[in-house]
Amino acid sequence: MSDEQNPYKLDRTAFQGMTFEEADNYQRDYKTYSAKQRLEIALYLTSIAYNFDIKNPPKMDKTTFSKEKLC
C-alpha cells in the first residue's frame, strides 16, 4: 500500500515518553473528524496492527461459530 493511496500515515518515529497527564492532554481531538473519517482511521490502524491489506481484508472464519435453538 503506497502513501498516496492512504491519506493517514502512521509515523513510527514520533514516540516520546510522557506522563499520564501529558498523554491525556496530547490526545488528538477526533471530534473534529466526521464519522466516516474516524472509521477509515480505525480501519487503517487495524490493518497496520494485524498486517493485512485494506483493499483485501481477511474473511471471517464462520466455522468456529454455531447456533442452537433456545427453547
Instruction: Tell me, yes or no, whether 68 lies in a domain.
Output: no
pLDDT of residue 4: 57
Given the C-alpha cell 497496520, which residue does it identify?
A: 48
Q: For the residues 50-69, what does the mean pLDDT come to?
A: 85
Count of domains for the chain: 1
Instruction: Tell me, yes or no, whether 67 lies in a domain.
Output: no
Instruction: Tell me, yes or no, whether 5 lies in a domain.
Output: yes
The alpha carbon of residue 24 and the mean position of all alpha carbons in its chain are separated, in whole angstroms, by 19
Instruction: Tell me, yes or no, whether 12 lies in a domain.
Output: yes
Q: For the residues 40-65, what does the mean pLDDT come to?
A: 87
C-alpha distance from residue 38 to each of 20, 21, 60, 65, 67 (Å)? 24, 24, 23, 29, 33
Question: What is the DSSP-derived secondary structure letter of residue 27?
Answer: S
Instruction: Tell me, yes or no, whether 21 lies in a domain.
Output: yes
* Window from 21-25, 49-53, 56-60, 63-67 with minimum mean pLDDT: 21-25
Helix (H) or strand (E) holding 46: helix 35-50
Q: For the residues 35-52, what does the mean pLDDT come to?
A: 90
Instruction: Tell me, yes or no, whether 8 lies in a domain.
Output: yes
Domain of 24, in residue numbers? 1-57
